[in-house]
Amino acid sequence: MFDQIILPNGLRVVGEKLTHVRSCTVGVWVKVGSRNESLAENGLSHFIEHMVFKGTASRSARGIAEEMDMVGGQLNAFTGKECTCYYAKVIDEDLRLAVDILADLALRPTFDEKELNKERGVILEEIAMVEDTPEDLVHEMLAAAQFDGSLSRPILGPGSSIRSYTRDDLLAYWRKHYVARNMVLSIAGNYDWDAFVALAKQYFDVFPNPDGEEAPAQEQGYIHERVFKKKDTEQLHLCLGFPGIGADTDDIYPLAVFNNAIGGGMSSRLFQRIREELGMAYSVYTYSSSYQNAGVFNVYAGTTPANGETVLREIQEQLRLFLKNPISEKEFASAKAQLRGGFVLGLESSSGRMQSIGRGMLLHGRMRTPEEALAKIDAVTPERVMEVARRILSAEPSAAFVGSNAEECIKLVEGTPAKGI
């Protein structure tokens, strides 16, 4: 059972009561991420997420950390493709402090010039870390090979942009997007709803731009490029990517079962063939990412350069065989049980429930009860799984390879001429 209200200023407040816990997890959700950025703004959503922790009108960076530590709470944030979230987990008696700090972070940051220049360096180091982590880098390269719009761009932004952004740039972007109609305040755990609404009205009363509007999601087009980066690494890192399924359709459930069966677990076909039978990879997996009106289904493997061609051929063969030899009764039951079990385990966490209802309200305008989600999972049939698998695997793949022989191996993927970066 959910609680929800829209405050007079337009802020949506949602909650889910969990009577078996003493904790509360509260989140401030902002409907802005790298997808909402123009090319000239790429990285600003993430930069702001960093900067709000560096001081507000009433708290220093150290003060923010000390207040949360004194109650044993957890305070963190993340930026995604379509949203930014600030969240705190505390015991129920410290809920007021959590709401106070979160409102301070989101609505009253100072963007101190000195702190901004220090944090600029931190983000540049974060970007450098991705460059030095081939498994992270290859996924960013794949996104750029899959989309022709803002979903192709990295959440962190390019180093050149991070070096150029000024305090005025951050302030303008923050005022534009951190508005009541573009935000959701969510809570899950042991709380009193009326008391929480009173806290929301008290602390989320004044926004930097009361007349702001919701940020639209930019339209995305699929492209099917092949990109590679020659890098002196111990492994060849390879990714194949296919157009997937948007988050606004029930096909995400058969997609999840397909993902589990082909590469989403230790019993999946790719894991069993490439790691267990051939011993040619430690890490091999598939995953799907679903956005508003867009999605991807991707495959990753890391292997020694000498085994690169063999592993790629095996991945291609296993994808072909899945369509030729449809999901078996045993595979279907296992993949579906894996999905169901993982979902139910997630219900035990106040953090997980806060994220589920907050994200659902922010991006889709509704919250799905656990019973509704389980019913959708139970309704999945082998036929729907194969229908989704055929739709995905019939498309021409995008590809991204990183390694010493990346150029040679990527030529084995049919498609447009490969480009080095």
Tell me the two tokens of residue 369: 């009860």
Which among 37, 49, 140, 331 is annotated as catalytic?
Answer: 49
Could you please report the per-residue DSSP string of 286-355? EEEEEETTEEEEEEEEEE-GGGHHHHHHHHHHHHHHHHHSPPPHHHHHHHHHHHHHHHHHHTT-HHHHHH
Sign of the Cα pseudo-torsion (172, 176, 177, 178, in order): positive
Taking the C-alpha atoms of residue 101 and residue 99, their distance in angstroms, rounded to an integer, is 6
Taking the C-alpha atoms of residue 226 and residue 399, their distance in angstroms, rounded to an integer, is 5
Taking the C-alpha atoms of residue 412 and residue 314, their distance in angstroms, rounded to an integer, is 12
Q: Write down the H helix ranges in 7-152.
A: 44-51, 61-69, 95-107, 113-131, 134-146
Taking the C-alpha atoms of residue 112 and residue 51, their distance in angstroms, rounded to an integer, is 8
Query: In this structure, which amino acid lies at residue 353?
Result: R
**Is 234 annotated in the active site?**
no
DSSP state of 38: -
Give the HSE-up count for residue 420: Cα atoms under 13 Å, Cβ half-sphere: 10
What are phi and psi for residue 310, nearest 5 degrees?
Answer: -65, -45
Sheet strands (E) in 140-279? 183-189, 226-230, 236-243
Identify the helix (H) or strand (E) that includes residue 26: strand 23-30
Cα 345 from chain centre: 20
Find where tokens 């004194």 sit. Answer: 70
Q: Are strands 294-303 and 23-30 parallel, antiparallel or unpaired?
A: unpaired
Beta bridge partners of residue 60, listed in sequence order? 55
The catalytic site residues sit at 49
